[in-house]
Structure 1
Amino acid sequence: MSSIKMVIRESLENLSVTNLAKFRAALVDRRVAPRVALSKVEGKDYLDITNVLVSTFTEDGAPAVTAELLKSIKCNDEAKELDDEIAKLKSSAGKTVAASAAAATAAGSAGAAGGTAHSEEEHFVDKHKLELIERVCNIKSILDVLQKEKVIQSEIYEEIYHTQPNQEKMRKIYRLALKSGKTAKDIFYECLKKYEPRLVADLERSE
């Protein structure tokens, strides 16, 4: 399952080498306590920087600091996406607690809504974004369908197809194809059911 640390890690992983260096410098230059020493992040990658953020500011405070620093280096889209993912994560956690307090009602609702591509609040492909990025393998077949259904154009198809590794292909699918809305996500979900049935079944069982 997703965690705050995983969301921060993914946000930093998506930064270019140049922007990650800027982020590292902004973190060291931050004047508000607690401060981060240069020795802790100098030459470090996104994994190490994520660990420093969480250990220094805690899981509760690290997302706000990360978003603040992203905005300071003009990565406003990345900051917004981070804020959105954290909000979804906290909302999901709150719903889990509420569901435990009303298990019978939740079970009835789940039965009535069974088999749908997504919950009312959050689409399947958004809810399981991190897991899908890590685990989807049959990306070429999915790209072929996305192009056929006009979700992506030829130039976007070529850009994603020639990207390596698979995890980065998936990140580009999210950034370049699925931002257009629910229809694109529904088509993508149907592709996943066809080409990654075991993965979809595994994720649906985890809900």
Structure 2
Amino acid sequence: MSGDRHFVDKYRDALIQKVSLVEPVMGELLNRFVIDQESYNRVMAQRTNQEKMKELYAGPLNACGPDEKDTFYHILNQLEPYLILELKSTK
């Protein structure tokens, strides 16, 4: 990703508020070994999508490097392309 901050860091707050397909995103992160089963369970135990995304950012995503963040970005781009386009169009 270009720029100083990774896309998923730069748009953290917006992604926490707007990602609606949290379960499929989490499933892909688990399938691609970005997160482990324990992290998946902890995130999925949260009540709302916003709480799930906050837990994802506070826990496993906080410890991720650029490669894992790239994977997260690509999953989001695949599952929520309109959200990614919306965020990219904001400056």
| Alpha-carbon distance in structure 2 between the residues aligned to 1:206 and 1:135 | 14
Q: Share of identical aligned residues, percent?
A: 34
1:167 partner amino acid? Q
| Alpha-carbon distance in structure 2 between the residues aligned to 1:120 and 1:203 | 15
Q: What residue in structure 2 maps to residue 201 of structure 1?
A: 85
| Alpha-carbon distance in structure 1 between the residues aligned to 2:20 and 2:88 | 18
**Deviations 1:30-70 (CA, angstroms, capped at 9, x unpaired):** xxxxxxxxxxxxxxxxxxxxxxxxxxxxxxxxxxxxxxxxx
Q: Which has the higher contact order (CA 8 A, sep 6+)?
A: 2
TM-score (norm 1): 0.42
Query: Alpha-carbon deviation of 1:131?
Result: 0.6
Higher-Rg structure is: 1
Query: Alpha-carbon deviation of 1:150?
Result: 1.0
Do the aligned partners of 1:139 and 1:166 also contact (CA within 8 Å) in 2?
yes
SS at match of 2:59: helix
- Give 1:1-207 correspondences, 5 Å limit: 118-179=1-62, 180-207=64-91
| Alpha-carbon distance in structure 2 between the residues aligned to 1:154 and 1:196 | 23
**Deviations 1:119-161 (CA, angstroms, capped at 9, x unpaired):** 2301111111111100001011111111111111111111111
| Alpha-carbon distance in structure 2 between the residues aligned to 1:178 and 1:155 | 13
Gaps of 5+ in 1: 1-117
**Deviations 1:12-38 (CA, angstroms, capped at 9, x unpaired):** xxxxxxxxxxxxxxxxxxxxxxxxxxx
TM-score (norm 2): 0.91
What do you get for the CA RMSD once the two structures are aligned? Answer: 1.1
Do the aligned partners of 1:160 and 1:173 also contact (CA within 8 Å) in 2?
yes
Moved over 2 A (4+): none
